[in-house]
């Protein structure tokens, strides 16, 4: 699986990501921080024993879909995975009874779709399941025998794992069969969308990404102090125009409270920037420097990183080259211990007592370890959010505090950043993928409701 700039089709699930059933992370061949296709949220190995424990508890029927039962343990196992995923994302959990109700409804919808697939004769061969098992094993750097041992060691039945894989493939195939034709996007639709976006002239229809150096002027500053601070801002602007790295200048000159390491303010609708910033940068090309200009806060030096119409891909994207060390929590090495170990690595690197690449080769539990943890160049949206957020907060050369993702605990160092220009063809393909995603979401929502509405559903005792 390779990294892609294009969003996946919603509802289309990569079979390899069925490690969800196990809690095994669905890994890229390159690194365990890539966003899983289809936005599947992959829990850690720590849930395996919990899910197996749920399956051994006394069970009862909570609902029947066209005479096929759904059990309380099915809902509870889904709850355990969902709770861990939400905790990793920092999302507040709803009340347990509400979460159980929502997950039961999701299982009902899936069950109705599986039944429809069987009625229509959609089939999944043993060879397809074998290939899916092999993909899961490869993406977790295991042989099939090792995968089977991992499953059984956690009290799960491998035949059930294969059944869950088969069902996931079946869901994908029925959704493709029923909805693929409705999600097609013609060249004319792409061109029409582009024309409509380019026709918009108000600030709300434009998006802007700026970076700034802010030299703060104290409220009671004397004229002499103001002049000195203005001269400091002017020096920063001149050095930026001469080609000095802007991120380095942010660290040297900017004293804005709460500033990011690289001064970036993020891509947002232009009308969400101060009018002063819009007026100052409106004739500045991408990569150009504006200012210094004075506001109530102080003197601003602005760099235009990106400018585009809302809904349109930008002409350039900011790419980051980073490396990381990944530790996956186990029964022997808990999450707290992994965090402490990486924090120690961070201190040793900062003190010049250890080399990041050497530590990665010796300790990282990721496919990138043999390359010193180097992840290569990556654009926005290619890593899972918790990893990408920490990475984006770092300046080149900086090693951040350890961060937890669904794959484990990471120590990240940013090596380089660059602006990469997209060709017109690449921009159009991004538009096409976005339109296809929107079409599929709309078609899937209507189709799923229709399938659910045709099913006979009988609710029994509520899940607990």
pLDDT band of 414, cuts 50, 70, 90? very high
CA separation for the pair 113, 447 (Å, rounded):
10
1 occurs within a structural domain: no
Among 253, 284, 309, give the residue marking a domain's end: 309
Say if residue 41 is in the same domain as residue 175: yes
For residue 279, being part of any structural domain is answered with: yes
Alpha helices in 4-43 (DSSP H): none
pLDDT value at 56 more than 80: no
What is the average per-residue pLDDT within 190-219? Answer: 75
Determine, yes or no, domain membership for 2. Answer: no
Q: Are residues 226 and 321 in the same domain?
A: no
Give the Cα separation of 176 and 15 in Å (integer). 14
Last residue of a domain, one of 309, 334, 356: 309
Q: Are strands 408-421 and 206-216 parallel, antiparallel or unpaired?
A: unpaired
Give the pLDDT confidence of 108-143 residue by residue, as tens digits.
Answer: 999 999 999 999 998 888 888 888 888 778 766 678
Give burial (CB, 10 Å; 0-12/13-18/19+) of 372: middle
pLDDT tens-place string over residues 13-53: 333 333 333 334 333 333 444 443 343 333 343 444 445 55
Helices (H), 254-296: 275-281
Q: pLDDT higher for 49 or 433? A: 433
Give the total residue count for the chain. Answer: 464
Per-residue pLDDT band for 334 (boundaries 50, 70, 90) equals confident
Examine the domain organization and report whether 154 and 44 are in the same domain.
yes
Residue 379 pLDDT: 81
**Do residue 414 and residue 447 come from a single domain?**
no
Give the domain range for residue 398. 316-421
Same domain, 40 and 146: yes
Indicate whether 104 and 155 sit together in one domain.
yes
Please tell me whether residues 275 and 403 are part of one structural domain.
no
Output the CA torsion sign for 103, 438, 90, 398: positive
How far, CA to CA in Å, does 345 sit from each of 250, 302, 352, 407?
A: 27, 36, 11, 19
End-to-end CA distance of the chain: 38
> Is residue 147 in a domain?
yes
CATH number at residue 287: 3.10.50.40
Beta-bridge partners for 46: none
pLDDT at residue 344, rounded to an integer? 94
- The answer to whether residue 105 scores a pLDDT higher than 60 is yes
pTM across the whole model: 0.51
Question: Are 167 and 21 members of one domain?
Answer: yes
What pLDDT, on a 0 to 100 scale, did the predictor assign at position 89?
Answer: 61
In a domain, 6, yes or no: no
Helix axes 72-89 and 96-119, enclosed angle (nearest 10): 120
Query: Which residues make Cβ contacts (< 8 Å) with residue 240, sequence separation at least 6?
Result: 213, 246, 249, 289, 301, 303
Same structural domain, 297 and 323: no
Long-range contacts of 287-293 (CB under 8 A, 24+ apart): 287/419, 289/237, 289/240, 289/241, 291/233, 291/237, 292/215, 292/230, 292/233, 292/234, 292/236, 292/237
Q: Decide: helix, strand or coil at residue 61.
A: strand
d(CA 64, CA 66) in angstroms, rounded, equals 6
Contacts of 226 (CB under 8 A, 6+ apart): 217
Q: How many degrees, rounded to 5, is the angle at CA 6 between CA 412 and CA 173?
A: 110
Q: Does residue 305 belong to any structural domain of this protein?
A: yes
**What's the domain count of the chain?**
3
Same domain, 372 and 247: no
- The domain that contains 106 carries what CATH number? 1.10.4030.10
- Phi-psi map region of 158: left, alpha, beta (phi>0 left; psi -120 to 50 alpha): alpha
Indicate the average pLDDT of the chain: 79
Q: Residue 413: which of 429, 447, 390 has the closest Cα?
A: 390
pLDDT for the residue numbered 30: 37
Least confident of 34-48, 106-120, 198-212, 395-409: 34-48
pLDDT band at 221; cut points 50, 70, 90:
confident
Residue 9 falls inside a structural domain? no
Judge whether 124 lies within some domain.
Answer: yes
Percent of the chain whose predicted confidence (pLDDT) is above 90 = 23
Question: At CA 13, angle to CA 8 and CA 18, rounded to 5?
Answer: 135
Is the same domain home to 221 and 87? no
How many angstroms separate the CA atoms of 22 and 1, rounded?
A: 20
**Average pLDDT score over residue span 340-366:** 93
Domain end position, chosen among 263, 285, 309 = 309
Q: Are residues 248 and 361 in the same domain?
A: no
What gap in Å lies between CA 297 and CA 303, rounded to an integer?
18
């Amino acid at each position: 699986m390779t990294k892609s700039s294009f969003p996946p089709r919603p509802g289309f699930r990569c079979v390899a990501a069925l490690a969800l059933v196990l809690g095994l992370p669905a890994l890229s061949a390159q690194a365990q921080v890539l966003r899983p296709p289809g936005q599947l949220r992959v829990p850690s190995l720590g849930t395996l024993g919990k899910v197996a424990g749920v399956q051994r508890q006394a069970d009862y029927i909570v609902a029947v879909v066209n005479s096929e039962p759904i059990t309380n343990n099915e809902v509870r196992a889904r709850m355990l995975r969902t709770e861990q995923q939400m905790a990793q994302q920092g999302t507040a959990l709803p009340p347990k009874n509400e979460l159980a109700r929502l997950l039961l409804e999701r299982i009902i919808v899936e069950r109705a779709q599986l039944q429809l697939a069987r009625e229509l004769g959609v089939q999944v061969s043993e060879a397809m399941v074998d290939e899916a098992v092999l993909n899961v094993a490869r993406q977790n750097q295991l042989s099939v025998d090792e995968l089977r041992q991992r499953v059984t060691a956690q009290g799960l039945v491998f035949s059930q794992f294969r059944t869950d894989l088969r069902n996931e493939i079946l869901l994908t195939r029925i959704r493709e069969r029923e909805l693929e034709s409705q999600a097609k996007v013609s060249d004319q639709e792409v061109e029409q969308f582009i024309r409509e976006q380019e026709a918009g002239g108000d600030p709300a229809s434009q998006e802007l990404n700026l970076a700034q150096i802010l030299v703060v002027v104290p409220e009671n500053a004397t004229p002499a102090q103001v002049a000195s601070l203005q001269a400091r801002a002017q020096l920063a602007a001149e050095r930026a125009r001469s080609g000095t790295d802007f991120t380095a200048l942010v660290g040297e000159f900017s004293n804005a409270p709460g500033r990011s390491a690289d001064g970036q303010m993020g891509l947002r609708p232009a009308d969400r920037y101060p009018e002063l910033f819009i007026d100052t940068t409106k004739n500045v090309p991408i990569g150009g420097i504006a200012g210094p200009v004075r506001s109530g806060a102080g003197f601003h030096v602005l760099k235009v990183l990106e400018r585009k119409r809302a809904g349109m891909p930008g002409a350039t994207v900011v790419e980051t080259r980073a490396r990381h060390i990944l530790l996956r929590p186990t029964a022997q090495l808990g999450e707290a211990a992994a965090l402490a170990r990486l924090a120690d690595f961070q201190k040793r690197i900062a003190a010049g007592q250890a080399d990041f690449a050497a530590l990665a080769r010796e300790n990282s539990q990721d496919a990138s370890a043999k390359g010193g943890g180097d992840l290569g160049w990556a654009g926005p949206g290619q890593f899972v959010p918790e990893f990408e957020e920490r990475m984006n907060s770092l300046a080149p050369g900086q090693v951040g505090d350890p961060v937890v993702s669904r794959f484990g605990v990471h120590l990240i160092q940013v090596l380089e950043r660059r602006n990469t220009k997209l060709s017109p063809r690449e921009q159009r393909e991004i538009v096409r993928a976005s339109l296809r995603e929107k079409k599929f979401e709309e078609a899937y929502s209507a189709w799923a409701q229709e399938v659910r509405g045709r099913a006979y559903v009988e609710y029994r005792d509520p899940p607990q």
